[in-house]
Amino acid sequence: MPAISERAQLVPPSPIRKLVPYANAAKAQGKKVLHLNIGQPDLPTPPEFWEALRTAQIKVLDYTESAGMPAFREAYARFYKEIYGIPLEPDQVLTTTGGSEALLFALLTLFSPGDEVIVIEPTYANYIGLGWATGITLRPVQSHIKEDFALPAPDVLEDAITSRTRGILLCNPSNPTGKLYSETEVRQIAEICHRYGLFLLSDESYRDYCYDGKRFFSALEVKGAESFVVVIDTLSKRYSVCGARIGALISRNAEVIQAALKWAQARLAPPTLGQIGGLALLSLPSSYYSLIQETFQKRRDVLIEGLRTIPGVTVATVQGAFYLMPKLPISDSDAFAQWLLERFDIDGVTVMVAPGTGFFSQPEQGKSLVRIAYVLDTPYLEQAVEILRAALNIYAREQVPIL
Amino acid sequence: MPAISERAQLVPPSPIRKLVPYANAAKAQGKKVLHLNIGQPDLPTPPEFWEALRTAQIKVLDYTESAGMPAFREAYARFYKEIYGIPLEPDQVLTTTGGSEALLFALLTLFSPGDEVIVIEPTYANYIGLGWATGITLRPVQSHIKEDFALPAPDVLEDAITSRTRGILLCNPSNPTGKLYSETEVRQIAEICHRYGLFLLSDESYRDYCYDGKRFFSALEVKGAESFVVVIDTLSKRYSVCGARIGALISRNAEVIQAALKWAQARLAPPTLGQIGGLALLSLPSSYYSLIQETFQKRRDVLIEGLRTIPGVTVATVQGAFYLMPKLPISDSDAFAQWLLERFDIDGVTVMVAPGTGFFSQPEQGKSLVRIAYVLDTPYLEQAVEILRAALNIYAREQVPIL
């Protein structure tokens, strides 16, 4: 029997999804699981999406062009201009199957196997998986909870640059920390990229989630950076359409888009239904985006406030995305997350969190961290805080031996 | 300005899709283009698909599990048993974003960069692109039009095996040739894989398209091959839902599925709407599949008969998929396909074909071949034959100098 590949053996499972079997088992036992593990907003998908599908009159559900429907790309460019004030041409937008595929295409297009790409840790777990898939070495630079996960100082970033470094991959606002990088920080990174001849790959999937009146500053707004900035975007979080699987690779470097198109051709096309529905979403009024910010800011406040009342818990003050990455009084976040699902509940309710280990190249750095996605309404978040409070209290005393 | 990666520079564009700009230009001039270039069936998507979406009552279009909805995987396994007589368990089916992604995951899981995989040429163009994406070297073995694209003799296949060879990738029935491999041929390949410790990666995307009463024999039916057979499947062609982007990676080797799941987690989930609609399609009665075969067999007959009346054209007798790969009296199939779109029409109608060059590792081997997909009703196919007849007649005389 032939062996599977080394990369398939070595790539770690998603820390966000590997506990799914335990969650399913908990549910099978009749437990209710509050899903704080996965970045899926709970707001209803806007009715415009469903209306567009209902009226589409499709006879044959056919492929679109590999780069996406021309009308969709036009709407995307228009949306960027009208909502974000960023001028874009339709041919600077390559439609992808979610932000994940945009990232895959970017890594394949910008970097060669063995190249190094700097990421700020804790980092989005799936960057690690996609790094394995594309043969790229992620070189982590640490951000710290005690500094509210601020951008590492420029000299620290520069120290990480080697002869193999070809880019910096920034998640702004950050999944998993919730850190919103300021205009100054984005410009600092762009300046380093410019100076060292690196690509700046900016994952802006959560750009609509900014709080405390902060304005998001996109890498696309840095003048003079057009040739080396590549942005990952997605409709998933913006419109509660994670299951539509529609995102985009955006760049003003035509060579990048043309090369990425070849990977896009090799997988034929992004989903048609998601594009048809998504096209309608791109025309929503700006009030839609304000509603998102108000809703999630309130949740963030409730959650931070609640978590800070639990003994031994540290939470950073962050202003973006819908994640928090608190430090808990635990020494093995995988074991704790599994224990919550297998052994703990209050009145039949438990919570599912993502262990912090999966957000580091060296998993042990995340052993006391968990990622919490605040994608539930505030009463559930308050309930989750009480469950975590009681769970941590018992867990500390039990010293549960874990497999 | 940093340079894009070598692989992004070297990967060829899809021969099936690279002519899209010329087709769009032709349409902009008011021409009608008969699309014989792309493998997209024209039969209406079954109403069951739309009905399932209409009644789904989705509030939030959320991610499914990375491996697909449990109900979808169960339906897939049941469908294989009931329609094909192949027993499968739901956990032997990993749901993917089209067959393309199943292939990507298979290549990442089974092979390491630098490994060699044998393919029979002419081969599906996108294997070449996905080979570049995953760092795998495709080692071609030629099949020949004069032998109706029969499986190369076992000793020819064995001669292609080197110390780096780790698998054979078979497309059965073949895209682009239409060759349906017999049970004997499939067993021959499996026997070679067994003997040399190779994976047999069988792309059975077109298994429902078999003619002349031939029964399709799946690699999954070879007893004793469970540990090394991996099948690529898709709903796209079977149900006219190319745009749904739903396929599957199927294997009885649990280690393969578990490892492939890690890549699946890194891209989060396959499209939700395609799974909801697809679930309904998997319960269609067996009469549905007979209708496909009758419809496309008639088209194949019309097309082969017509093409054989054109001077200088050779067509193989093939019994599967919905492709033919005739040899035309031309010396540059890319130039000819472009010329058809740019310079030729009969009463404002022209045809779009896929140049044969893209189906070979050495493009020059396909310079007199084109791939024709018979995905239009017979009157259009008859019209396409007449357009090709007239076009070839003029083209030969013009000796058009091409860029």
Helix (H, G, I), strand (E, B) or coil at B334: helix
Which pLDDT belongs to residue B14?
82
* A335 and A261 together in one domain: no
Which pLDDT belongs to residue A38?
86
Judged by a CB distance cut-off of 8 A, whether residue A66 touches chain B is: yes
Return the number of other C-beta atoms located less than 10 Å from residue A83's C-beta.
17
Within-domain flag for A136? yes
Which pLDDT belongs to residue A117?
98
Question: Based on C-alpha coordinates, what's the Rg of chain B?
Answer: 21
Cβ-Cβ contacts under 8 Å, B167 against chain A: 2
Q: Rounded to whole angstroms, how far apart are CA atoms A157 and A161?
A: 7
Greatest distance between any 2 Cα atoms in chain A: 62
CATH number where B53 lies: 3.40.640.10
Cβ-Cβ contacts under 8 Å, B11 against chain A: 259, 262-263, 266
Question: Based on C-alpha coordinates, what's the Rg of chain A?
Answer: 21
Within-domain flag for A225? yes
Q: Rounded to whole angstroms, how far apart are CA atoms A202 and A251?
A: 10
Report the pLDDT averaged over residues A177-200. Answer: 98
Contacts of A181 (CB under 8 A, 6+ apart): A151, A170, A172, A173, A174, A189, A217
Within-domain flag for B250? yes
Last residue of a domain, which of A225, A259, A281?
A: A281
Last residue of a domain, which of A216, A248, A281?
A: A281
Report the pLDDT averaged over residues A125-142. Answer: 96
Within-domain flag for B341? yes
* B106 and B255 together in one domain: yes
CATH number where B320 lies: 3.90.1150.10
Judged by a CB distance cut-off of 8 A, whether residue A355 touches chain B is: no
B306-B308-B309 Cα angle (round to 5) = 70
Report the pLDDT averaged over residues A93-98. Answer: 98
Question: What are the phi and psi torsion angles at A170 (to 5°)?
Answer: -115, 135
* B235 and B373 together in one domain: no
* Stated pTM of the model: 0.95
Q: Rounded to whole angstroms, how far apart are CA atoms A77 and A85?
A: 10
* B315 and B276 together in one domain: no
DSSP string, B15-27: TTTTTHHHHHHHH
* B100 and B234 together in one domain: yes
* Alpha-carbon dihedral angle through residues A383, A386, A390, A396, given to the nearest 10 degrees: 110
Please give the residue range of the domain that contains residue B84: 48-281
Within-domain flag for B403? no
Q: Rounded to whole angstroms, how far apart are CA atoms A69 and A96?
A: 11
Taking alpha carbons only, the member of A35, A372, A334, A332 closest to residue A177 is: A372
Helix (H, G, I), strand (E, B) or coil at A60: coil
Q: Rounded to whole angstroms, how far apart are CA atoms B40 and B37?
A: 9
Judged by a CB distance cut-off of 8 A, whether residue B10 touches chain A is: no
Judged by a CB distance cut-off of 8 A, whether residue B61 touches chain A is: yes
Q: Rounded to whole angstroms, how far apart are CA atoms A108 and B134?
A: 9
> Which member of B5, B45, B268 has the closest CB to residue A110?
B5
Which pLDDT belongs to residue A20?
87
Judged by a CB distance cut-off of 8 A, whether residue B318 touches chain A is: no
Judged by a CB distance cut-off of 8 A, whether residue B126 touches chain A is: yes
Which pLDDT belongs to residue B15?
74
pLDDT in tens, chain B (403 residues): 899 999 999 999 887 777 889 999 999 999 999 999 988 899 999 999 999 999 999 999 999 999 999 999 999 999 999 999 999 999 999 999 999 999 999 999 999 999 999 999 999 989 999 999 999 999 999 999 999 999 999 999 999 999 999 999 999 999 999 999 999 999 999 999 999 999 999 999 999 999 999 999 999 999 999 999 999 999 999 999 999 999 999 999 999 999 999 999 999 999 999 999 999 999 999 999 999 999 999 999 999 999 999 999 999 999 999 999 999 999 999 999 999 999 999 999 999 999 999 999 999 999 999 999 999 999 999 999 999 999 999 998 775 555 4
DSSP string, B93-116: EEEESHHHHHHHHHHHHH--TT-E
A340 has a pLDDT exceeding 70 = yes
pLDDT digits 0-9 by tens, A24-80? 999 999 999 999 998 889 999 999 999 999 999 999 999 999 999 999 999 999 999
Within-domain flag for B1? no
* B385 and B302 together in one domain: yes
> Which member of B2, B7, B44 has the closest CB to residue A166?
B2
Q: Are B135 and A113 in contact (CB under 8 A)?
A: yes
Which pLDDT belongs to residue A399?
57
Report the pLDDT averaged over residues A350-367. Answer: 95
Q: Rounded to whole angstroms, how far apart are CA atoms A141 and A170?
A: 11
**How many domains does one find in chain A?**
2
Return the number of other C-beta atoms located less than 10 Å from residue A60's C-beta.
16
Q: Are B295 and B43 in contact (CB under 8 A)?
A: yes
CB contact under 8 A, A259 and B167: no
Taking alpha carbons only, the member of B135, B4, B7, B132 closest to residue A166 is: B4
* A261 and A342 together in one domain: no
Residue from B53, B117, B230, B265 to probe the interface with A (highest A Cβ count within 10 Å): B265
* A276 and A132 together in one domain: yes
Within-domain flag for A163? yes
Q: Which two tokens stand for residue B345?
A: 């029409």
Q: Are B274 and A273 in contact (CB under 8 A)?
A: yes
Judged by a CB distance cut-off of 8 A, whether residue A316 touches chain B is: no
CA distances B283 to A87, B40, B43, B80, B82, Å, are 47, 22, 18, 10, 9
* A214 and A267 together in one domain: yes
pLDDT averaged over chain A?
95
* A320 and A231 together in one domain: no
Q: Rounded to whole angstroms, how far apart are CA atoms A334 and A354?
A: 8
ipTM of the shown complex: 0.95
